Amino acid sequence: MAVRKWLDRSQVLAGAPGARAVDVSAAEWRQAALDLAASGARLHALWTESRERTTVRASYLGDGFLLLVTLALHAAETTYPNLSDLFPAANRMQRAAADLTGVRAQDTDTRPWLRHAAWPADYFPLASGGAEVPRGGELRSDDYAFVRVTGDGVHEIPVGPVHAGIIEPGHFRFSVVGEKVLRLEERLGYVHKGIEQLFLRLPLIAGQRLAARISGDSAVAYSWAYCQALEGLAASTIPVRAAYLRALALEAERIANHLGDLGALGNDAGFAFGLAQLSRLKELWLRATQKALGSRYLLDFVVPGGVAVDAGREAVEELAACARAVDAEVKVVRDIFDEHAGVRDRFVGTGIVTSDLATRLGLVGLAARASGVARDLRVDLPSEPYARLGARKIVRTEGDVAARVAVRFDELTESARLVTSIAADLPSGSVRTDIVTPPAGTTAIGAVEGWRGPVLVALTAGEDGSISRCHPHDPSWQNWPALEHAIIGNIVPDFPLINKSFNLSYSGHDL
């Protein structure tokens, strides 16, 4: 297999299980991508760095490995070979990288992705050396070139970026005939928060607090991925009890999000009973989480070297009992969903992403598993203690809203089982170990399967415990483009339902 030569050349990379790294030349950058694509690997993340030497990095997830490929450009070079024809998700990643560092892929799509005319076109936040945005002068609209659909009866419906709900901004441009959608084009990134620049102002030992707030619904996944990378840099092994408590927190986060989404999906199908019951159960779960782990939403639970607070055996057992009770009630609600003709009519056959399309687009997480793509880092590249817990992949093949709902129901049950298993086998011992300052210039990757999909954090240490570069990656980067395909052929009123069945992160996408 051609991919073997890249793995044979690679070195072990600190951080995530199975992580490796290889440096390539400009000529090899695309060949490596071709070989990895042929092996079934998918592009996980792509970003650029502009410091003493400009580099391009791409991480790939394959069978049993995570490979970081690095291309160092020569001093005069500002472009690199395009990968978007091999991995469609690369398009937006490459455009975002160009907005942030000025390093561009050799691609025909040169439209900005993050900038939105919020700063001058010749200013690059991550290549500015900390310089502020130039003052003065008028920032005009960049007149973004949406793809136009023409023909008899075709018209456009613009939605957003400001929405009626309390959500972050995103623009959706529908091309329709009647109510049938011919095309959807998204534009995101309206609230550029400067996350990657903010990391540079923090010490390594405190970066997990910012990581946890990149996308608040995935706080445990992000902070664990950050800490996994940092602990890899420091060659530190966390206590076994801390690893179990991290897994407990991650599954608690998964349960809370699935409860909320399932209720919202019922409501979008006109079934308010589902929203009421699942919202009630989510509130019960959040209260139990706070009692056991110290907070309803675990933004500061995972810390370098372990976890911030211990949890008593009685509290953990009560959390497990709550998980079982919630799961039992959810099964009743699921039966009602399944028997309700109106809900079935809205769910079944709506927003289909076929297995072939999911593979070609590089779909990840629960949305991918609902389309037959059986990948889950908890099983494929398990961090401790998941290898011991024996997590199970939940997979459907239909690829519609009903399948994504079914995956959520089944994953909630599996998470309740894992919480119970953790409570029964929680080892004794400490929950935190000290972290030494890692050598400057070293890089590690953290990768954790959050409730939405695989979260990645690539971390490079700076001098005296500072952060030289931190690139976080949300699974929504892969899955937002799939939503554009899922809506085709459906009617406009089904978009909120299809959108919620993915429930992708604006904030995790808007760095």
User: Sign of the C-alpha dihedral, residues 21, 23, 29, 35?
Assistant: negative
- Tell whether the model's pLDDT for residue 142 goes beyond 80: no
Give 418's strand partners: none
Tokens in use for 334? 């699921």
Tokens in use for 309? 């607070």
Cα 294 to the center of its chain, rounded Å: 25
C-beta of residue 174 within 8 angstroms of C-beta of residue 157: yes
The rounded distance, in Å, linking the Cα atoms of 331 and 314 is 26
User: Which domains, and CATH codes, for the chain?
Assistant: 3-114 (3.30.460.80), 203-502 (1.10.645.10)
Tokens in use for 331? 């099964």
Assign 3-state DSSP to the chain and report helix, strand, coil percentages, each to 5.
45, 20, 40
Q: What is the pLDDT of residues 275-297, one digit of tens each?
A: 999 999 999 999 999 999 999 99
- Tell whether the model's pLDDT for residue 236 goes beyond 90: yes
pLDDT of residue 259: 98
Burial class of residue 4, CB neighbours in 10 A (0-12, 13-18, 19+) = exposed
Confidence of residue 119 (pLDDT cuts 50, 70, 90): confident
Q: How many CB atoms lie within 10 A of CB 160?
A: 17
Confidence of residue 403 (pLDDT cuts 50, 70, 90): very high
pLDDT of residue 500: 96
pLDDT of residue 479: 97
Tokens in use for 316? 């953990």
CB hemisphere CA count around 229 (13 angstroms): 30
Give 454's strand partners: 449
The rounded distance, in Å, linking the Cα atoms of 480 and 398 is 19
pLDDT of residue 76: 80
Confidence of residue 129 (pLDDT cuts 50, 70, 90): low
**pLDDT (average), residues 409-420:** 98
pLDDT of residue 128: 66
Determine the 3-state secondary structure of 117 from DSSP: coil
pLDDT of residue 131: 63
The rounded distance, in Å, linking the Cα atoms of 7 and 21 is 8
Determine the 3-state secondary structure of 399 from DSSP: coil
Please give the share of the chain, as a percent, with pLDDT higher than 90. Answer: 85
The rounded distance, in Å, linking the Cα atoms of 343 and 341 is 6
Q: Which of 129-138, 238-247, 388-397 has the lowest mean pLDDT?
A: 129-138
- Tell whether the model's pLDDT for residue 140 goes beyond 80: no
Please give the share of the chain, as a percent, with pLDDT higher than 70. Answer: 98
Q: What is the pLDDT of residues 447-492, one digit of tens each?
A: 999 999 999 999 999 999 999 999 999 999 999 999 999 999 999 9
Rounded to 5°, angle at Cα 208 from 132 and 424: 165
Q: What is the pLDDT of residues 44-70, one digit of tens each?
A: 999 998 877 799 999 999 999 999 999
Confidence of residue 150 (pLDDT cuts 50, 70, 90): confident
The rounded distance, in Å, linking the Cα atoms of 104 and 80 is 7
User: Sign of the C-alpha dihedral, residues 170, 176, 179, 180?
Assistant: negative
pLDDT of residue 138: 63
Q: What is the pLDDT of residues 168-218, one digit of tens each?
A: 899 999 999 998 999 999 999 988 888 999 999 999 999 999 999 999 999
pLDDT of residue 111: 92
pLDDT of residue 61: 96
- Tell whether the model's pLDDT for residue 335 goes beyond 90: yes
**pLDDT (average), residues 228-256:** 98
pLDDT of residue 137: 60
Tokens in use for 430? 């400490």
**pLDDT (average), residues 97-108:** 92
When the pLDDT of each residue in the chain is averaged and rounded to a whole number, the result is: 94
Residue 81: asked if its preceding bond is cis (omega within 30°), the reply is no
pLDDT of residue 2: 85
Which secondary-structure segment (H or E) carries 48? strand 42-50
C-beta of residue 285 within 8 angstroms of C-beta of residue 256: yes
User: Sign of the C-alpha dihedral, residues 72, 509, 479, 304?
Assistant: positive
Which residues 6+ apart lie within 8 Å of 27 measured at CB?
Answer: none
Q: How many angstroms separate the first and last alpha carbons of the chain? A: 37
Pairing of strands 42-50, 54-62: antiparallel
